[in-house]
Amino acid sequence: MFVTNIFNSNFFYSVVLFDF
């Protein structure tokens, strides 16, 4: 669960960075 949470956070960050 913790690993999945980190993966989700990383994915979200990537999407936000690419969105800019």
Q: 2-16 pLDDT, tens per residue?
A: 777 777 788 888 877
DSSP for 1-20 reads: -HHHHHHHHHHHHHHHHHH-
pTM: 0.22
pLDDT at 20: 60
pLDDT at 1: 62
Number of other CB atoms surrounding residue 5 within 10 Å: 9
Which residue has 């990383």 as its token pair? 10
